[in-house]
Amino acid sequence: MIRTVLGDIAPETLGRTLMHEHIICDITPPSLRGVPGFDAPITMQSRFDIDYGRKRHTAKFQLLDQELAIAEVASFAEDGGQAIVELTIGGLDPDPVALAEISRATGVAIIMGCGHYTEEFQAPANHDRTVEDFAAEMIAAVRTGAWGTDIRAGIIGEIGCSAPWTALERRVMTAAVLAQQETGASITIHPGVDPDQPAEIIAFIRALGGDVSRTIIDHVDRTIFDTDRLLRLADTGCVLELDLFGYEHAYWSFAPVDMPNDGQRIQMLRALADAGHGDRMLISQDICRLTRLRAFGGHGYGHILRNVAPLMLERGFSAAEVDQVLVHSPRRLLTFA
């Protein structure tokens, strides 16, 4: 079965699914939390610069308005969307009760993650915690409930890694592998901005006996910029996720990289599919700031359905290939092994 925030569902009932989004989330950089002065109103005049990222703005990182979230997720349903994987985890202020209410209000299935984000976001007390402690927390999140509620997680992650990868983050990753072995849930991973780190993470998981075929490397489209590396990573048997669709400008405020646009993302997908990896690639938008919502002039959760899927068909993908990415691979990865 597939575990949603409202209970378990049969895999064959899962329709078009976004595998990496945030609906209720606070991803304000820790160094700016509580620092006043970076919360100017988002207006038609200011939204481009706030979204672009050179202008410091903390309020855009707070997706905390439940009524707004309901409207945005309802809009995704109108675009034909059926399910969203919501990966707000430790360090990003997860709110399972809100997710359950949003799912109930919109009819969109929500599959929730568990675990911890990158070290800079983690609670200081995590430095004293053991692998076994982290693993027990993730197993309980899947089996009995997460973050003090009885609402259960359906996937492990996005497990945060920095570049260079820290000792604390390796302990959390080791715990995620133990939780995968215990529960049968897939692991989804936020790698650091280092083109070779995804392969390092996969080797680490393989050495621990984790199931690489049920391990997803997120944010490939801000991490790997050459086809050779892309195909070498796919050859390890892991799942590659291009989850920044809708991010259509080159500037990336978190690292000195030049971002691809949606057309180039589709070319990366074509290269993967042509090399026989069509059933090991996922797409999503990783919405985690207000300016990407429709209410603030952004593309909203439905962008992939409204715009990217038709573009894939125009660029030579078959309907079956698009269905594989949006329906069949999500079903396989979200069904507990």
Query: What is the contact surface with Zn ion in residues (CB under 5 A)?
Result: 158, 190
User: Least distance to Zn ion from the beta carbon of 222, Å?
Assistant: 9
Q: Residue 3 or residue 22: which is nearer to Zn ion going by CB?
A: 22
Dihedrals φ, ψ of 34, to 5°? Answer: 80, -5
Q: Report the residue number whose CB is nearest to Zn ion.
A: 190
Extract the runs of DSSP E, i.e. beta strands, from 87-194: 109-112, 156-160, 187-190
Extract the runs of DSSP E, i.e. beta strands, from 126-265: 156-160, 187-190, 215-217, 239-242
Q: How many CB atoms lie within 10 A of CB 206?
A: 16
CA 111 remoteness from chain centre = 11
Q: Residue 158 or residue 221: which is nearer to Zn ion going by CB?
A: 158
User: Least distance to Zn ion from the beta carbon of 261, Å?
Assistant: 19
Q: Residue 111 or residue 322: which is nearer to Zn ion going by CB?
A: 111
Q: How far is CA 259 from CA 21, 252, 264, 295, in A?
A: 19, 7, 9, 24
DSSP type of residue 187? E
Question: 54: Cβ–Cβ under 8 A, 6 or more apart, which residues?
Answer: 251, 253
Q: Residue 21 or residue 262: which is nearer to Zn ion going by CB?
A: 21
User: Least distance to Zn ion from the beta carbon of 250, Å?
Assistant: 19
User: Least distance to Zn ion from the beta carbon of 78, Å?
Assistant: 27
Q: Residue 121 or residue 147: which is nearer to Zn ion going by CB?
A: 121
User: Least distance to Zn ion from the beta carbon of 158, Å?
Assistant: 5
